[in-house]
Amino acid sequence: VFQEMTIKKCHFINGTEKVRLVDRYIYNRMQDVMFDSDVGHFVGFTPAGERWAKDWNSDPAIMENERTAVDWYCRHNYDLDAPFIVERRGERGA
């Protein structure tokens, strides 16, 4: 049995003032490649991941998509989820 996963995580600091996206590519519980919006490019952790990172970093379309994902993925989802996450804090026991 083989397992392949992609995990996207958005880290919000002070609302949407500072947003960080971490995109991880995992195969069989081993992280091959990661994109961190604070770093600005893909980093490989295995021999195959290093090759993929090199290829993806040299492709302008892929890099543009990853660099703009902070806006179209993270900030977009924050605006959708904020009423359920942010505004409900402290309402318990009222």
pLDDT tens-digit series, residues 19-77: 889 999 999 999 999 999 999 999 999 999 999 999 999 999 999 999 898 888 887 77
24 bridge partner residues: 7, 34
pTM for this predicted structure: 0.75
Separation CA 42–CA 31 (nearest Å) = 12
Query: Between vectors from CA 49 to CA 47 and to CA 55, what angle results, nearest 5°?
Result: 110
| Locus of tokens 């947003």 | 19
* Ordered domains of the chain (ranges, CATH): 4-86 (3.10.320.10)
Give the number of C-alpha atoms closer than 13 A to the C-alpha of residue 85, restricted to the C-beta side: 8
Q: What is the dihedral of CA 43, 32, 10, 5, to 10 degrees?
A: 160
